[in-house]
Structure 1
């Protein structure tokens, strides 16, 4: 799979104008990172799709078509943005809890724990009945059979994944549910009048577009960040009680404002309804149905704000028995055979993840792409729209690209190798060094108009 063919698949699935593809230049070849998977093609294609969708939305307002270019090495730097983040020239930020990782079970299988949130860590320790150390956790897990522990942790609402081969994953009902879904869906969910792009800054493709970003960690926040870098007014909404990972708040908060709203309280729900009434895009990455239980499902939002573009990002998809299972990028890699494939290719004893959070980043860019395609449809035919994606659907697509036999032998890419892809901005956190947008647009260049803000730094209003 080449980047060009992957981009064509995205563009065709969305029903976009095929002539626009002539305005894109992609450069670079896999492997750009040590992996047997074509991660570079995934990065280039999803980021190019986002840039081209922004260019096409701008064309609706101006009539001008512009050129879009993406270099694979820059796209891969974007896919590792959290790794290259630095504050005040300090060390790489800590992104993982020490207990997170792979463990061998009693029956010789492997399981991955995800314990980056304190309550997830404590829940795992409670199930295992052990203290908080890798050695104690390893000893406790060695008393369990892998499948039993996997199911026990899932039933407790905790985050783990049994390492499966692609063949073992394919036999599961969840894999079959995912196989029945397209890469993404863009569905009309209600009637609303046509809304042409608002008159705004001619140098910003999404000038005047208001986005509510109700997401945390990587996939959803990357989608909001991508919309922000093309000029959208993105307001990030966090619950005051919800955990976050500080470096990711910084990296993915660039270009956004940040407010706190407590949806457990009636006043908070009323505040969010008011914000939704003035929004164009409502982006959320909670488990399927979680926000609907608070009165903020797609159909409810289409009634509150006819013409809304509602974007749903989940881990394992909205169908199948795992739709409610908690998940993160690395867990989906483990469950679906990606970590097993990388281990086998490299001859490792332990499972091996991709060299970046590729499912997170790709799904984030695809979510931003879907939002912009839906905005363009609203501008030409009206309607309210629902965009649905999941990490598992993106992972399945990556696995369909084929493999590079010795791709895992490619050299790793250090921060010094991508210095030309980075930029520095002053912020409340200090001087933030971060990866710049990878897509190059002739007329409306992508950039961050605001530094990252602390959670709750802004009022919950437009």
Structure 2
């Protein structure tokens, strides 16, 4: 088994994955314990170093959780480790998820890649209002079939379809080469951003000990309250990861908001779920913020600020809060407020082109940008808690799928296009739930004495009251070999 594998990064230097993890800690001003990494690329079928991406992002949040545990009275010498294969399979968690043995995550019929007069474009239609926006942009009636969409796309350029759909409030991306993306002004704006941005937004607010005491037994994030205002993958993965290390996570949705049903369940392990309609229950959300340590949001940049829930607003409501903002293309540049999803960022940034032969889209074998960004967001959240404990104040974390795509690009390439898909069997566990028996990928990463795990199954949407209760732990997971998860 390869230990602490090396990666040749963009500047030509060779760095081990533990060195990449250490660099992430340095960038946000926190000291991380050493991480032992086993395995290496290629692990998933791709020319990109997805194993290194997975191990570095998972390793960073695992090390940060260990540092937080140590800061609050846990052991200061607990071994921290990550297995590349396990981390990479966790990047495919929705692919391996089963409810009573049946896959439950599916995509809408019109979502997909379409040939255009000069290349390819991808439409994201998993939400009905995004589907309807795409149809309006193409001059098609609601209910139009996939063949009609394909014919309209064939008659237009990829950039034309991309811009027309975006103007209508939908989500689309033209397939660009790596060179075309690097020449785009949004690429320059994204490249100027840190991979994990962390800044103090207010000096007001005490340290972590003002509400969460030292010497908390058992779990690295026990007593930390996380308000999860996210949907789809990246943001929910961030909050789910914090739950795996013991945080109390309350996911806030609303009955009128569209969801991808299978993903809602798959990303909800260890969480509670409530409904709050921001249009009529603003004070309810404000009260939840007042009791939170971390607020994770993945609305389009500026959307919550327009409603009075920007980072500075949250810091006034809850001095000492850590605000985590997840976006597709970052908050700056010409696309700073643009909606986007993993598959679209892969298209726009050249990944879908370079992962194949450039003649048609070849997506990564995982929603790797979503998952890596989710783990980085969780890492940033814990880094914010550590900085709060040391310096006080309120903090903001910013991550984006496009900036993560740049990091993946900088990790170089591997001869892995024909690598076999690894079996997930050894990292699967089962858990009973209100939905049936769930088969899922266990949380990757290891802290000696505090292995990450989810203490409760996914709840039904809106099952809990919009408040911060203290509940009993749920059933422990059981893996396929009959041991503890």
Question: Where does residue 420 of structure 2 map in the other structure?
Answer: 411
Question: Where does residue 444 of structure 1 map in the other structure?
Answer: 450
CA distance in 2, matches of 1:156, 1:226: 34
CA distance in 2, matches of 1:423, 1:155: 44
CA distance in 2, matches of 1:279, 1:223: 16
8 Å Cα contact 2:228/2:297 also seen in 1? yes
Moved more, 131-140 or 64-73: 131-140
CA positional deviation for 1:132? 3.1
8 Å Cα contact 1:6/1:42 also seen in 2? no
Question: Where does residue 426 of structure 1 map in the other structure?
Answer: 432
8 Å Cα contact 1:203/1:445 also seen in 2? no
By percentage of residues, which structure has more helix? 1
CA distance in 2, matches of 1:74, 1:132: 41
Deviations 1:259-313 (A, max 9, x none): 0000011xx1100100111110011000111111111110011111100000000
For residues 318-357 of structure 1, the aligned pairs below 5 Å read 318-344=331-357, 349-357=359-367
TM-score relative to the length of structure 2: 0.90
8 Å Cα contact 2:238/2:375 also seen in 1? yes
For residues 186-205 of structure 1, the aligned pairs below 5 Å read 186-191=198-203, 192-196=205-209, 197-199=212-214, 201-205=216-220
CA distance in 1, matches of 2:260, 2:463: 17
For residues 56-95 of structure 1, the aligned pairs below 5 Å read 56-62=67-73, 64-65=75-76, 66-90=78-102, 92-95=103-106
Deviations 1:24-78 (A, max 9, x none): 2100110100000000000011111111101100101115221111111110111
| 1:115 pairs with one of 125, 129, 152 | 125
CA positional deviation for 1:15? 2.0
CA positional deviation for 1:129? 3.0
CA positional deviation for 1:199? 4.4
Question: Where does residue 25 of structure 1 map in the other structure?
Answer: 36
CA distance in 2, matches of 1:17, 1:302: 25
1:184 aligns with 2:193: no
| 1:47 pairs with one of 53, 58, 81 | 58
For residues 144-159 of structure 1, the aligned pairs below 5 Å read 144-159=156-171
* Runs of 5+ consecutive residues of structure 2 not aligned to the other structure: 1-6, 8-15, 469-485
- DSSP 3-state at the match of 1:375: helix
CA positional deviation for 1:94? 3.9
CA distance in 1, matches of 2:128, 2:166: 17
- DSSP 3-state at the match of 1:70: strand
Deviations 1:354-390 (A, max 9, x none): 1101110001001111110110111121110000110
Question: Where does residue 141 of structure 1 map in the other structure?
Answer: 153
* Runs of 5+ consecutive residues of structure 1 not aligned to the other structure: none
RMSD: 1.3
CA distance in 1, matches of 2:43, 2:163: 36
CA positional deviation for 1:89? 1.2
TM-score relative to the length of structure 1: 0.95
